[in-house]
Amino acid sequence: MPVTSEQAKTARGAGALSSADRLKLYRFLRLARECDNAILRLYRQGKIVGGAYTGYGNEATAVGSAYALEPQDYLLPMHRDLGAHLVRGQSLRHIFLQQLARGESLTGGRDGTGHYADPGLKIYGNVSHLAAMIPVAVGMALASRMKKENAVVLNYIGDGGCNVGEFHEGLNMAAVMRLPLILIIENNQFAYSTPNSRQFFCQKLSDRALGYGIPGVTIDGTDVAKVYETTRAAVDRARSGEGPTLIESITMRMHGHSAADDASYVPKEMLEQWKKKDPLEKLERMLLSERILTEAKRDEFAVSIAAEIEEAVTYALEAPYPAPDDALEGVYAP
């Protein structure tokens, strides 16, 4: 399947974001948010078999960074990055078939959430083990360079996941070999119930880049344009052979770790403070004030997004589960 995403058609070669780009980014943020709402509804209706994870608060990081990729590039998202799948061109049917573990999904109903690969779109979703995808991303960057694809690899990790050994091994190898890797740390203040203060002692996670001799930058992860511009610069750098960049994108996980977690350990005031920086609302306010977005257009987006999601959810709910007889097929290596 060819890459057919909106992003692929428009973002290539882009310097500063045009008004049309910013409207697209807004629509992707909103689409990601509404997909999350639909996932939560399905979970509460008992229709999702496993856990449900949302990207509330992380949308600008996922959307803005994926928008900086070109069709030949590789995307290795983590569990908060539904927005990146959407920018890359993943269909809503596949998103919901996967969430609902249907036989027709990209994992044939054997796994849920973002744990899938779609080689046609060059999306290689995460496995559950945090940081395990970093060395995989590094290997893909090396393979891609050997094949002269002129591609870059974009991978993400959490503030919790970046304390796992593979983070260091992977980044060091990527630095030494000048591989075309962009690693984004989605610093959303918590790893499950563990706050940042109990996870790392450095001031900025991007400071770790210094230890590998590569650039590291910390940005406001609620500002989608900032995320895009920073990632775009790192993508250009990687593509021109200058090697990897580490980006720390600061935001807040506005929901519990999963829908099963009420996040009662998160101070209320903290959530209230971050609510003011909601990535979607922030961009909406800005675009309305600049008259790039009108209220009528905003409402039009809301209606079309709701209809698209409804269509995909209905389709996925009606699709069958995998047949019990072949449920184990492809689960174990021969």
Which spans of this chain sit near Mg ion (rule: CB under 5 A)?
158-159, 188, 191
Q: Is residue 80 a contact residue for ligand TPP (CB under 6 A)?
A: yes
Distance CA 153, CA 138 (A): 8
Q: Give the shortest CB-250-to-ligand TPP separation in angstroms.
A: 12
73 in Cβ contact with 235 (< 8 Å): yes
Q: Is residue 32 a contact residue for ligand TPP (CB under 6 A)?
A: no
Q: Is residue 255 a contact residue for ligand TPP (CB under 6 A)?
A: no
295-318 and 279-289 helices cross at what angle (nearest 10)? 140
Q: How far is residue 8 from each of residues 13, 67, 121, 122, 312, measured CA to CA in Å? A: 10, 8, 10, 12, 22
Q: Is residue 250 a contact residue for ligand TPP (CB under 6 A)?
A: no
Distance CA 87, CA 123 (A): 11
- Partner touching 130 among ligand TPP, Mg ion, none, CB below 5 to 8 Å by kind: ligand TPP
Q: Which of 23, 84, 133 is nearest to 249 (CA)?
A: 84
Q: Give the shortest CB-255-to-Mg ion separation in angstroms.
A: 12
Q: Give the shortest CB-190-to-ligand TPP separation in angstroms.
A: 5
CB nearer to ligand TPP: pick between 34 and 248: 248
- Partner touching 278 among Mg ion, ligand TPP, none, CB below 5 to 8 Å by kind: none
Q: Is residue 208 a contact residue for ligand TPP (CB under 6 A)?
A: no
Span 116-135, contacts to ligand TPP by CB under 6 A = 128-130
Of all helices (H) and strands (E), which one includes residue 228? helix 224-239
Q: What are the structure tokens assigned to 81, written together? A: 């990055």
Q: Give the shortest CB-44-to-Mg ion separation in angstroms.
A: 23
Q: Is residue 192 a contact residue for ligand TPP (CB under 6 A)?
A: yes
65: left (phi over 0), alpha (psi -120 to 50) or beta: alpha
Q: Is residue 59 a contact residue for ligand TPP (CB under 6 A)?
A: no
Q: Which of 105, 80, 77, 103 is nearest to 91 (CA)?
A: 105
Which residues form the interface with ligand TPP (CB under 6 A)?
80, 128-130, 158-161, 164, 186, 188, 190-192, 253, 257
